[in-house]
Structure 1
Amino acid sequence: VAVGALCVIDHVPRPEGLTQEQRSVLKALAGQISAHLELRRVANRQRELLERQKQINAMMRDSVRTALTAQEAGRIGTFELDIETGNIKVSAEFCRIFDVPPAGRYHARDFEKMLHPDDRGRESSEETRKNGTAVTTVDYRIVTASRGVRWVSRQATFERDESGKPLKLLGTVQDITQQRRATQRIRTLLELGDRLRDLNDVEEIALTAAELMAHALDATRAGFGVVDPVRETVMMQPEWRAPGVSSLSGKHYFRDYGSYIDDLKGGMSVVISDVTTDARTRDKADALLSLGIRQLVNVPIFDQGKFALVVFVHHCDLFEWMEDDLAFVRSFGDRIQSAIGRLRAEAEQNMLNREIGHRLKNAFAMVQALAKQTLRPVQDRGPVLNFEQRLQALSSAHDILLGNNWANADVRTALLRVVDTLGMTEQVEIRGKDISVNPKGALSLSLLLHELTTNAVKYGSLSSVHGRVLVSWDVQGEREDAVLRLIWREMGGPPVVQPQSKGFGSRLISMGLLGTGGVSTRYLDQGLEVEMTASLVQLQQVA
């Protein structure tokens, strides 16, 4: 049921609309929201079931005999186990849940052997029951003949004699497969989203998705294979397997196992609930059964429009599929495709950034070469050298931004890059917590720090081997009123005096960060001190 819409708003028109990648990201985000809503709904349903089961327990304690003989309601099976003999009297609904023929009596061992191997410790042994210490409330899995793995919730209470010795175990059972699967599906989808964010390899994504899907669907084998769509082959990679299940690693031909390769090529997920009856596999069922495959799920993964990988999940026995399970598989495929799309977009962006960086370096080199040729006749080489160094500072700032995909740059990184370029790292001390600024702020900061460092090398503390510079910064205020304060303090150099005239560098420094002012310059006995302030919001906001 649709309960709302995910809305995206921009402040500029977009005639071309959203890109396919943006639509995929929004679709994945909407899926996560839906999963959270579904998880809340399932949690509420579980609380309702718990309250209902508590009421059943109370009713059993008050009149257990009446409950056992009353007409069944609510699809809850009942049983009465004789502790001494192990004989168990069961209702028709109990037989339906355990997928056995209706009969008045069975032995407890008939049902204990149906326990899932991983849950055998949850049910109690005959000796434990005789001691009256059996677990009376428990959820566990059983393996049925025609319905596969099922989840059962059992509620029970002891009937004791006057001495307290247990005589009988009376109780109810309920099939909770649908509820357990719903909860597991939601948790798995949420875990998939969390884990995919940290993966940067297509094959890692495929294997992670396969393993999570296998646990959610109680499968026996899961993994991925590398597809050659032209030859219609798949190179199976080492997969996740349940204990005792053989590996399918190696090359396989799709057509040896049926015609479902046609659906995969068309981008459709394939779910075959029984290879012996499905039209796509029944003629090749023996080949699949010999590999321990009674049911299979295949999710195709396309890379740049090409069928490249297939995620598979296998069951060796029958598995009762629900409509929600099929939607779960489709949702899994969508999330995998979104993650692959994200990786592809990041790879393309990195390639584009490298190309931009290469062209930008060429442009800076060309400008510098033109400047040298144009300014060759100038006798005073000081301004020429200053221009070249400022150009290098600007190039260095762009290198930092390119390394961050033109996102924010770190203040510390920008400062270290400047002082390292001028060979002054050992004489400059840096203090301040990690703070990032936007591209415009990074360029402004790099040019300002270059001017201050250059002046210190020529006239200030860095002109002496004993001189030092302390650069510190902090944030004052909170939220919209927060201000970045950066202090440049020189020590141990020659005496400094205020210049009589201002050159380009002095005017640049006086403009401050982002050219908004907020600069205080002090010419002290121990050296120059410059304090600059600027709005942190302006330094960090996206243009």
Structure 2
Amino acid sequence: MADARELERLLADAKTENDALRESEAKFRAVFETMIEACCIFEMIYDDVGRPVDWKILEANAGYEKQSGLKDVAGKLASEVMPGTEAYWTETFGRVVQTGEAEQIEKWHQPTGRWIHSSTARVGGSGSRRLVSVFYDITERKRAEIALRESEERQAFLLELSDTLRPLADPAAIQLAAATVLGRHLGASRVAYGEDTGDGETFVVSPNYVDGAPDMSGTFRYADYGSDILADLRAGHNRIQPDLAQDERLSEAERGAFAEAGIGASLNVPLVKAGRLVAWLGVNYATPHEFTLCDIQLTEEAAERTWAAVERARAEAALRVSEERFQQFANASAAALWMRNAETLNMEFVSPAIATIYGTAPDTFIGDIRRWAAMIVPEDRDTAMNHINQARNGEPAVHEFRIRRNDGSFRWIRDTDFPLCDEKGNVERIGGIAEDVTETKMAVEHQGVLLAELQHRVRNIMAIIRSTVVRSADGAGDVENYKVSLAGRLLALARVQTLLTRQANAGGSLRGILESEIGAQAHSENQYELTGPDLMLSPKAVEVLTLAFHELATNALKYGALSVNGGKVSVTWTLFEKREKPWLAIDWVEEGAPFRPPSTRRGFGSELIEAKIPYELRGTGKTSIEPGGAHCHIEFPLREAESILETDAPAPTRLYGGTVDMTGAPDLTGKTVLVVEDDYYIASDTAAALRGAGAEVLGPCPTEEDVLRLLEEETPTAVVLDLNLGGGGPRFEIARKLVERGTPFVFLTGYNPDVIPDELADVTRLQKPITLRDIVEAVSKL
């Protein structure tokens, strides 16, 4: 009975275990069939020497097909359904059978074209060759990881390339550096940058990056490296040749040339710009090499960046040469060259010549346009600014304006302004050429004065000649007599003009005039005697007396003392004082002249002496015919007077500097004047006017803070004070402080008198707008 009960218990336990096993198997089966991952049970197959060589798939779940893409694999060998499976799968499964330790691997599976994650464990104890494997397709994840890694590597490569190229300025150095970075990254044996020569046949290769390969720099023919290579590169096609020895596009001779050069694989990336092949970047390997998409993309990127860096370097080199030439031109130019920002009008560049023209350091003009405009006289400033704006709007402008230099002088400036546009045609900058045309302007003005003076003098001379011609006819007995008289008088005029042009405004010697006129008519020096002090006459006196002495000498030759050998002319002159002014008295006396009855007609000579001398010299003249010959007495005041026969040039015209020109204004020498004004141009013009009057100027100061700070260090003798600094209405703190210090000042304001406090009512108030000369006069009274 006991045995029976024991048997029943054992049967019951067995049943329980079987039920549990069936339940466990049912659960496994449910999981096996429903799991998303692929699961298979397979048995390893070994060769005669005990090496794993294949496996037989015993079972596979529904997920197997989804994860691998393979159908109906149960009962089949792996080599049958997955031919070409990599050896590392067989090795891994054999190791799990041998050790009994489960393994996980992530590997590429070529037959299915997928990345697989596999977890494999042995089924059964030692000696079992049965395995269970759970795997799933991780291709997308792997691709993402690879793409991320390649992206990171690409970014790291490009960063290194950029950092390497950035400091380089030599095109050849850039090409070699880029080739080196790419060659090391790809593990290539050679990387070279070549440039097309443009002749359709050759290219030039710069020094190469090489690793165990010879350098191949120099000039080469395209035809030596493939009959179709130039066409490919010109078309912008990458030339990819992973195994040159087997490349059917190459002839036997071309393959031999590559082999001789030690090139087993080649990648050439062309750079086609504006439809023209300009360069290419080549990567070589000594042995056959499969170029990945990443390799090609990196080479393309490196080629573009290398080309851009080379072009940048060449452009910068050309720009440096251009800038050096421009700087040489600017430095050598007598005209000042300048350039402004078109938007802000701030000065960006001025050439050294501006210092000579404007009389101040070039740096003075850099920045705010008001620094330049403040030097322009107020009357010309708006016009000058309008011409700047004209160039700003794209229209060239030529204009002239006056400036006041720091030394107080005024100059005429001619500015030629022109727009400088960007590639889109927008005005980016304003360029200009400034010239000092003061001398030219003054010469033109003086030329006008000279012309007017010449016209005036010629008309006067013509009037004298006309008068001489007409009056000579009155006393002429016949044509011959008229001709001789007129010729003599015109020659006398010529002698006057010659004498007066020897030295401008100098006049002439009285003795010299007499010797010239009497000596021309006398038979010998014994026929005349001159007695009197050496005396220089004014140009006007020379003109009148020369004509008078000519008439006297001519008459003496015709009718008087010089007409006979025994006759004589005596001329004496003395100085005397009349009405507190020096006068000159001249007496002409003839002796030994033949008798002739007194003339009943007043001739040319008599009228000249008795009418012209009183009228033009403000003196007297009297002639008479005595028994021994003619007597003449002349007296007139010695004073400066111009002759119309003078040819000296009028004094040059003076350059007027407009309202800031303080010529004739009160002298402020010795005064130190503080200018307090917040308007830039009013402040600058006021300061310029005060300096022009001789004052030393402090400031100008635009704010109350500036004034108080300056007063701590300086002691002005006078102040020009604006009441409203920076807006906000009139303020009197500075005025009260000046009263405390005892410093005299004037208000310069646009406010009415009623805003000024009673205690400051006695302060002079200058109402804006006001002339600069009025400001100077007000300061002079302080």
Identify which of structures 1 and 2 has the higher relative contact order when contacts are C-alpha pairs closer than 8 Å and 6+ apart.
1
Same fold (TM over 0.5): no
What's the TM-score, normalizing by structure 2? 0.30
What's the TM-score, normalizing by structure 1? 0.41
